[in-house]
Amino acid sequence: MAVKDTLQYKLTKVTGKTVASGVVGIAMFFLAKDKALEPAWFVPGAAVTIFGEWLRLWAAGHLRKNKQLTTTGPYSYVKNPLYIGTLLITVGYSAMAMNAWIMAVGFIWFFIYYAPYKKKQENEKLIGSFGDAWTAFDKAVPDYLPRLTPYPGRGTNRWNWEVVKENSEHETAAAVFIGFAVMFYLLVR
């Protein structure tokens, strides 16, 4: 078994989803490289991208995966803040690249395949791990449109940078920043 935080361990975490995301990102950069990017698209796209990654960092700092039911931070408002963050990043990059095709494909993939697949897969696992606590949380907290008030049964965990690192979100944030830097270069060149 590979030791955590080694390259060998990280390679075991590469999935088809990771590869597909990389291919879409490279395709988007390739399609944007010959365009004259416009600030009117870039600035709102950058704001959405940054908000999406901020949401992912906030969520990852609360997520005690496989240890306890996470009901704090953004999870007290919406069940899937990491997924929402990913969708926002996709929309933001698509806007920065002025590419409606990638944006449309991103929405279709997210709502037709990714969200239903993850809900089914994770729901079974969460019921098995957390039973009635998950069922109550599942009924009270929406999947994608946040509650206006926090979940009354939320826990007391606070955001923690070590938990962000444990969830490898710092690596995702670095990748998002690198992509942003590439898009900014394409804008100002």
pLDDT tens-digit profile, the chain (189 residues): 566 666 666 666 666 666 766 776 777 677 777 788 899 999 999 999 999 999 999 999 999 998 999 999 999 999 999 999 999 998 999 999 898 888 888 888 888 888 888 888 888 899 999 999 999 999 999 999 999 999 999 999 999 999 999 999 999 999 999 989 989 998 998
Question: Which distant-in-sequence residues (6+ apart) come within 8 Å of 93 by Cβ?
Answer: 25, 28, 45, 49, 102, 179, 183
pTM for this prediction: 0.86
Question: Which distant-in-sequence residues (6+ apart) come within 8 Å of 69 by Cβ?
Answer: 126, 129, 130, 133, 134, 137, 155
**Torsion, CA 122, CA 177, CA 2, CA 119, rounded to 10:** 10
